[in-house]
Amino acid sequence: MGTTTQPDAVPEPKYWHLKTVLSDALDSEFEVGEILPNERDLAARFGVARATLRQALEQLELEGRLQRRRGVGTTVAPPRFGVDVGAGVHVWPGAPDDAWQTGECEETVPPRAVAALLDAAADGDEVHSVRRTRMTHGQPVATELLYVPRSSVPGLPAETLEEPSGGSARGRAVLRELWRLELQGQERTVELGSARADDARQLDRLPGAPVLVVTTRYVAQGTTVAVGVSTYRADTCRLTFADRMPEPQAAAAESTPSERERAHGGRHRTGARLSRR
């Protein structure tokens, strides 16, 4: 019972089939930013329960194809934008308005996992910490917590800590400006996580939203002098890492910033099958 009408080999889940149908429709019949019919209508139109429809929508949202907001509706999300995370050169076109916003410095006890990475801090020790937020395309895409054990920066006047550079800067630049740390290198890990309540609020997402957690270990003099934990919105970001990339000649200029090709194909025609009414 479907449109493909296979013999009946493996009964594909309804929501899975629904997802592919919607996905195709998204490509062919909708514009970015366009608003879909509401869930109750869609469910009725496909002859499924709302829960089933929602299962498909959830998948699509996870893939960054949709954006849902309570009280508003479900809209077609723009393609993910590349967010440079590596230490190397910018290669993928970065957003023109990509900027970090640095908060105030505090004294906190870092999470256990962070403490384990810091050579100079025992479990339970308080360390300096700064919260930062990364804005791109007019929206927050990441929050970061930077942890610097006191012993990494002994005898630093509190003044310096209260007055950060105030503007955009890469993590290592902040470490230099705030604490005059000169780094030798860094090491990063990326993993999937779900947003904690505080991070979710800053990212304008609901708690539990999928995020990419980037843990950076800053190294100087052979020891880990700082650790940064960045939380990126997984639905809108594609992290890019470049290590000693020679500037590509032609390929780099192939398209303008924001509107990059999507992960697995993506065109934007127009039509009117699923459109309103």
Partner DNA sequence: TCCTCCGATTGGTCTTGACCAACTCTTATG
Partner DNA sequence: CATAAGAGTTGGTCAAGACCAATCGGAGGA
* Binding site residues, its own copies, CB under 8 A: 16, 19, 59, 62-64, 80, 82, 86-88, 91-92, 111-113, 116-117, 119, 184-194, 207-208, 210, 212-213, 215, 219, 222-224, 234-235, 237-246, 248-251, 254, 261-266
Q: Tell me if 203 contacts DNA by CB under 7 A.
A: no
138 binds DNA (CB under 7 A): no
Residue closest to 265 by CA, chosen among 24, 14, 8: 24
For residue 52, the partner it binds in DNA, its own copies, none, with Cβ less than 5 to 8 A by kind, is DNA
In contact, 121 and 110? CB cutoff 8 Å? yes
Residues 58-75 as b/e (b if ≥16 CB within 10 A, e otherwise) read ebbbebbbbbbeeeeebb
Q: Cβ of residue 114: shortest distance to its own copies, in angstroms? A: 9
> Is residue 30 at the binding interface for DNA, with CB under 7 A as the rule?
no
The residue within the footprint of DNA, chosen from 24, 32, 33, 38 (CB under 7 A), is: 38
Residue whose token pair is 């395309």: 137
Q: Does 21 bind DNA (CB under 7 A)?
A: no
241 binds, among DNA, its own copies, none (CB under 5 to 8 A by kind): its own copies
Q: Which residues contact 52 (CB under 8 A, 6 or more apart)?
A: 14, 15, 18, 43
Going by C-beta distance under 8 Å and a sequence separation of 6 or more, which residues neighbour residue 65?
23, 26, 76, 77
Q: Which residues of 247-274 are buried (b: 16+ CB within 10 A; e: fewer)?
A: eeeeeeeeeeeeebebeeeeeeeeeeeb
Alpha carbon distance 33, 268 (integer Å)? 12
Applying CB under 7 A, which part among 68-76, 138-146, 158-166, 216-224 lies near DNA? Answer: 68-76
SS3 144: strand
Q: Report the nearest approach of DNA to the CB of residue 42 (Å).
A: 8
For residues 155 and 157, give the distance between their C-alpha atoms in angstroms, rounded to a whole number.
6
The one of DNA, its own copies, none whose footprint includes residue 72, by CB under 5 to 8 A per kind, is DNA
Give the SS3 label for residue 121. Answer: coil
Give bridge partners of residue 228 from the DSSP assignment: 146, 216
Q: Which of 64, 65, 74, 80 binds DNA (CB under 7 A)?
A: 74
Contact flag: residue 36 with DNA (CB under 7 A): yes
Minimum distance from CB of 159 to its own copies (Å)?
Answer: 31
- Binding site partner of 50, from DNA, its own copies, none, Cβ cut-off 5-8 A by kind: DNA
Cα-based angle 104, 107, 205 (whole degrees, multiple of 5): 60
Q: For the window 206-225, what string marks contact with DNA as x by the rule CB under 7 A? A: x-------------------
Q: Which residue has the tokens 């990475």?
A: 117
Binding stretches for DNA (CB under 7 A): 10-11, 13-16, 36, 38-40, 47-52, 54-55, 57, 68-74, 206
